[in-house]
Structure 1
Amino acid sequence: MLTKDLCRLESMAPEVPPGIKPDLPTPIRKPLWHDDPAVLFSLSTHIIDAAPTRTCPEFEILHEVVIPTHARSQAADLDPKTRQKMAKENVAVMWGWRKDLEDERVAQGKITRYERSLWVCLNRYVRTNLAGKSKGITLLFTHAIGINKETWEPVLYRLLKSDAGRDIDEIWVWENFDTGDSALLNEGRLNQLGQLVLTLYASNTVLTLLEPQPIAAGSSSRVTVAEFEERTRQGFSDRRLLAVGHSFGGNLCARACLTYPRLFKAMILADPGIVYRDEPTLRPVLTFFAQGAFSRKNTWGSREEALPLLQKSPFFGSWHAQPLQMYVEHGLFSPPGSDGVILKMHPVWEALCYTNGLQRSGDMFDDVPKLDEKVYIKWVMPDVKKGGGLSGVKPSALLVKLRPGFTANVNIQGAGHMIPLEKPDEMAREIEDTIKVVFGSSAKL
């Protein structure tokens, strides 16, 4: 077991000299509600430096062997059974790498640290009619593995049109460094295999909270070192934070809250990647997701070609139309010199994320009872008829009871694991309900 919390940041990420920070990888756009006069929130996209220290060694074999193997698996004349066999074999190799790295760590008796500069991309939505020094609610959203940040917008749109929307000042939607636009910014530097990757992802989530958010919701200036350090000790003096995390993102929110509980007033965890370490279904579930990711088609002639094909797939076919459209519009891109489109997050990186999740999922399960009792937790879980959660009905029912007190849980009828993507209306209602429970029916009063 670790004796040091790697999610705890010892200092502010260094100021990046002018001219080094990259340009946005995709054009500035308008939000989903841009022509709805009832929703007065603007959209801007930001780039911040990721937490500088990580436990991820560079792993050249990913580029030299695994990426080319995946490319061969995409051949049009390859039969499905052969493609599935290649996915199964390569994911098994990934599990082997994970074991070798963990054995090495145990033998060394310490965690090897690496310094590597990576970028994190965020969408920020700010109320355009803020009145003075408002102390409304700030929301932070974190995504599931492989799901770009823009897929949260259908949920946001519904939430901002609700009664609770008037109490929200700003929203940040975080994107991990290997996903979506962040992956484009970090192209060529993602050949890593993390020993403690979820903990380091969580430190990036914390950095999102501590470093980029300006003093006031209407401002865009970077915070000072003094303000950064004050936030680590006392939390926010100028805002009230509600974090919403789905799947892998739910694990990150919980881990960040464990380390810095004063930052949070409440969390909504949608079927989070938090499972008892000895749960026999955990590794098979992660393997299933990893194999599905590895075998996923990565290239289409156009977005118009991609959408109907994704709609027919077992995984994407259960999604609501709007999140799927946002996935196709913003999770794909056209490489320079290409007439087609490809996924921003390569399927190999997505598969690797699942094999990296085993240990940290169990660690967070052990730590759930330690989450600060002052922080409200709303567990939003799948329909019991669809498993009730990542680990099944009974283990998931245990999970939502681990931290007693200021908490609630609900199972969304008809929803599987991908709750925000399958049921954006229901997800928005659960967030609205949480705002009313935690902050009152008129949070700004």
Structure 2
Amino acid sequence: MLTDGHPKVLWNCINRYVRKDLSPSNRTGLTLFVAHANGFPKEIWEPTLATLLSSPAGHAIDEIWCWEAVQHGDAALINHGSLSRYFDWQDNTRDILNFFTNFLPTEASAAPLPLHLTRIPEAESDRRRASGFQFRRLMIVGHSYGGCTSTLATENYPQLVDSLVLVDPVIPKPFVSKESFAVSEGKTDGLLIASLSRRDTWNTREEVLSSYLKNPFFRAWHPSVLKIYIEAGIYDTTDEAGNPIVKLKMPGIYESVVFSERTVGLEAWQNLPYIPERIPIRWIVPDRSDADEFGPPGATGERCWIRPKNSSNIKIPGAGHLIAQEFPVELGEDLRDFILEVYSDLYSQRTIPRPNL
């Protein structure tokens, strides 16, 4: 049956971080857009951003927007009852592009913004789609699922993007044999089953922390990330008898629905060579030998150099796929170094202190 799309309105939630002293005299235009992995709220980036913003590179950043897909975090609570049991990763790409072209304010400002962003004028939207932002330099940082969908957004509208940082994105190289494909499918099925069986209800947040610290998966996380996950990924409610409990904002069924989609990453792979060379690409990849390559052996290296010009990469020592969760400080330091190199021209401006390197 053909329809005009999902019949219910869905909302995206976004955290905005802006310099308190931002003014027309010290504005650089550098705007960070940060997209999470499947299963995590937008606040999961805060430990990484704390490292970045406390560094010299923080002086060059006007504004940061932390994205939340429709079935994650606060968006999951708002959209409860309206979400479908089917999900195409292209929908997140569409939502990201909708934000870029129709809702991101024209210029960064320290002034408060309304709870619901107002739509920009249609003429401005058309101009952005044709030639990009006039007063912003958009740096995208995407991890895993967020890295894949942000890459697809870049491939479709490269004029909007100034630079791209990909933290082990789920952009798989197609398999050349049925056997290797079956192995990959088995890994994804394991993630899907694990998410379906994930516990989502506790009596208190203290009980959540206690149970997570007994789990090797969560024990590997940096303490500050685990703390913010329990703070921002869980909400207070009551059970049927009215007793206070806490629950995950994103239940396992929502996470498994996202894991079930397995084709958009292949589309992102096919178009990687055609991302314009003016856009610097930074690949941040795992160091551990047991990390999934998202494709046959050697796929990670090929992905990093499939568009060789203006590309760079780094392995985070000891890291697996969950780099943002396990090594937020090292991730923040690499973002710092990327900004200091790629946006060195910003430090020639009188209002930005030149860092001591």
Question: TM-score, with normalisation over the residues of structure 2?
Answer: 0.89
Mapped pair 1:343 → 2:248: yes
What corresponds to 1:182 in structure 2? 75
Deviations 1:6-64 (A, max 9, x none): xxxxxxxxxxxxxxxxxxxxxxxxxxxxxxxxxxxxxxxxxxxxxxxxxxxxxxxxxxx
Mapped pair 1:309 → 2:205: no
Whichever residue aligns with residue 342 of structure 1, its letter is: K
1:112 shift after superposition: 7.6
The whole-number CA distance in structure 2 between the counterparts of 1:443 and 1:285 is 45
1:369 shift after superposition: 1.1
Whichever residue aligns with residue 131 of structure 2, its letter is: Q
What corresponds to 2:328 in structure 1? 424
The whole-number CA distance in structure 2 between the counterparts of 1:423 and 1:388 is 17
Q: Secondary structure at the match of 1:114?
A: coil
Deviations 1:98-125 (A, max 9, x none): xxxxxxxxxx9x9984343100000000
The whole-number CA distance in structure 2 between the counterparts of 1:423 and 1:438 is 22
Mapped pair 1:366 → 2:259: no
**Deviating runs (4+, > 6 A) in structure 1?**
none
What corresponds to 1:33 in structure 2? none
What corresponds to 2:189 in structure 1? 287
What corresponds to 2:106 in structure 1? 215
Whichever residue aligns with residue 98 of structure 2, its letter is: L
1:438 shift after superposition: 1.5
1:417 shift after superposition: 0.3
The whole-number CA distance in structure 2 between the counterparts of 1:441 and 1:388 is 37
1:396 shift after superposition: 1.0
Mapped pair 1:229 → 2:133: no
Aligned residues: 334
Q: Give unmatched runs, 5+ long, in structure 2.
A: 350-357
The whole-number CA distance in structure 2 between the counterparts of 1:410 and 1:392 is 20
Whichever residue aligns with residue 266 of structure 1, its letter is: S
Q: Percent identity?
A: 33
What corresponds to 2:95 in structure 1? 204
Mapped pair 1:433 → 2:337: yes
1:131 shift after superposition: 2.6
Question: TM-score, with normalisation over the residues of structure 1?
Answer: 0.72
Contact 1:216 1:238 (8 Å CA) reproduced: yes
The whole-number CA distance in structure 2 between the counterparts of 1:392 and 1:343 is 34
The whole-number CA distance in structure 2 between the counterparts of 1:420 and 1:393 is 23
Question: What RMSD, in angstroms, separates the aligned Cα atoms of the two structures?
Answer: 1.9
The whole-number CA distance in structure 2 between the counterparts of 1:377 and 1:232 is 21
Mapped pair 1:387 → 2:268: no
The whole-number CA distance in structure 1 between the counterparts of 2:314 and 2:289 is 14
1:284 shift after superposition: 2.1
What corresponds to 1:65 in structure 2? none
Q: Give unmatched runs, 5+ long, in structure 1.
A: 1-107
Aligned with residue 171 of structure 1, among 54, 61, 64: 64
Q: Secondary structure at the match of 1:156?
A: helix
Q: Secondary structure at the match of 2:289?
A: helix
What corresponds to 1:296 in structure 2? 198
Whichever residue aligns with residue 346 of structure 1, its letter is: P
Aligned with residue 150 of structure 2, among 230, 253, 259: 253
Q: 1:326 to 1:390 in 2, by over 3 A?
A: farther
The whole-number CA distance in structure 2 between the counterparts of 1:242 and 1:386 is 30
Q: 1:162 to 1:386 in 2, by over 3 A?
A: farther
